[in-house]
Amino acid sequence: MNIGAVAKASGVSAKMIRHYEQIGLIGHSPRTEAGYRQYQERDLHTLKFIRSARDLGFSLEQIRQLLSLWYDGERSSAEVKQLAESHLSDLDERIQALITMRDALVRLSESCCGDDRPDCPILEGLAGHVPASSSPPQLSKQKAQGV
Amino acid sequence: MNIGAVAKASGVSAKMIRHYEQIGLIGHSPRTEAGYRQYQERDLHTLKFIRSARDLGFSLEQIRQLLSLWYDGERSSAEVKQLAESHLSDLDERIQALITMRDALVRLSESCCGDDRPDCPILEGLAGHVPASSSPPQLSKQKAQGV
DNA sequence: GTTGACCTTCCCATGATGGCAAGGTCTAGC
DNA sequence: GCTAGACCTTGCCATCATGGGAAGGTCAAC
For residue range A32-76, list pLDDT tens digits in order: 999 999 999 999 999 999 999 999 999 999 999 999 999 998 999
Q: Is the pLDDT of residue A141 over 60?
A: no
Kindly indicate the confidence band of residue B145, based on its pLDDT and cuts at 50, 70 and 90.
very low
Residue count of chain A, please give it. Answer: 147
Helices B60-71, B41-55: axis angle to 10 degrees equals 130
Q: Is the pLDDT of residue B142 over 90?
A: no
Residue A55 lies in a domain: yes
Q: Is the pLDDT of residue B89 over 50?
A: yes
Q: Which of B57, B66, B115 sits opposite A77 (nearest CB)?
A: B115
Helix (H, G, I), strand (E, B) or coil at A31: strand
For residue range A119-128, list pLDDT tens digits in order: 899 999 999 8
Q: Are A25 and A50 in contact (CB under 8 A)?
A: yes
**pLDDT score for A67:** 95
Q: Residue with CA nearest C18 C1'?
A: A15
User: Is A106's Cβ below 8 Å from some Cβ in B?
Assistant: yes
Q: Is the pLDDT of residue B122 over 90?
A: yes
Residue A14 lies in a domain: yes
Average pLDDT rounded to a whole number, residues B136-142: 42
For residue range A3-22, list pLDDT tens digits in order: 999 999 999 999 999 999 99
Does residue A48 share a domain with residue A85? no
B chain contacts of residue A118, beta-carbon cutoff 8 Å: 72-77
Q: Could you tell me which chain B residue has the CA closest to the CA of A104?
A: B56
Q: Which residues contact B1 (CB under 8 A, 6 or more apart)?
A: B9, B38, B39, B40, B43, B44
What share of residues in chain A are helix, strand, coil (percent, to 5)? 55, 0, 40
Strand C contacts in A 2-31 (CB under 7 A):
13, 15-16, 19
Average pLDDT rounded to a whole number, residues B101-118: 92
Strand C contacts in A 49-68 (CB under 7 A):
54, 59-61
Residue A68 lies in a domain: no
Average pLDDT rounded to a whole number, residues A110-130: 88
Q: Is the pLDDT of residue A137 over 70?
A: no
Does residue A133 share a domain with residue A86? yes
Mean pLDDT is lowest, of B3-7, B12-16, B28-32, B110-114, for B110-114
Q: Are B62 and B87 in contact (CB under 8 A)?
A: yes
**pLDDT score for A139:** 38
Does residue B53 share a domain with residue B12? yes
* Complete DSSP assignment for chain B: --HHHHHHHHT--HHHHHHHHHTTSSPPPPB-TT--B---HHHHHHHHHHHHHHHTT--HHHHHHHHHHHH-TT--HHHHHHHHHHHHHHHHHHHHHHHHHHHHHHHHHHT---SSSS--HHHHHHTT-PPPPSS-S--TTGGGT--
**pLDDT score for B128:** 82
- Radius of gyration over alpha carbons of chain A, in Å? 24
Residue B31 lies in a domain: yes
Residue B20 lies in a domain: yes
CA-to-CA dists, residue A142 to A29, A120, A122, B94, angstroms = 51, 20, 15, 19
Residue A66 lies in a domain: no
How big is the CA angle at B59 (ends B53 and B61), to the nearest 5 degrees? Answer: 110
Does residue B136 share a domain with residue B93? yes
For residue range A74-95, list pLDDT tens digits in order: 999 999 999 999 999 999 999 9
Q: Is the pLDDT of residue A144 over 50?
A: no
**Which structural domain range is residue A54 located in?**
1-59
Does residue A89 share a domain with residue A131? yes
* Number of domains, chain A: 2
CATH of the domain at B29: 1.10.1660.10
Residue B71 lies in a domain: no
Q: Which chain B residues in 42-81 lie under 8 Å from chain A, judged by CB atoms? A: 45, 48-49, 51-53, 55-57, 66, 69-70, 72-78, 80-81
Report the alpha-carbon distance of residue B57 to residue B62 in Å, rounded.
Answer: 10
Q: Are B64 and B25 in contact (CB under 8 A)?
A: yes
**pLDDT score for B29:** 96
The residue among A59, A85, A107 that closes a domain is A59
Does residue A55 share a domain with residue A10? yes
Kindly indicate the confidence band of residue B130, based on its pLDDT and cuts at 50, 70 and 90.
low
* CB contacts < 8 A (A, B): 182
Q: Is the pLDDT of residue A132 over 80?
A: no
B110 vs B142, more confident: B110
Does residue A146 share a domain with residue A81? yes
Using the structure, give the distance in angstroms from the CA atom of A25 to the C1' atom of D9, rounded to a whole number: 20
How big is the CA angle at A118 (ends A115 and A124), to the nearest 5 degrees? Answer: 110
Report the alpha-carbon distance of residue A65 to residue B61 in Å, rounded.
Answer: 37
Q: Is the pLDDT of residue B143 over 90?
A: no
Residue A67 lies in a domain: no
A143 vs B111, more confident: B111
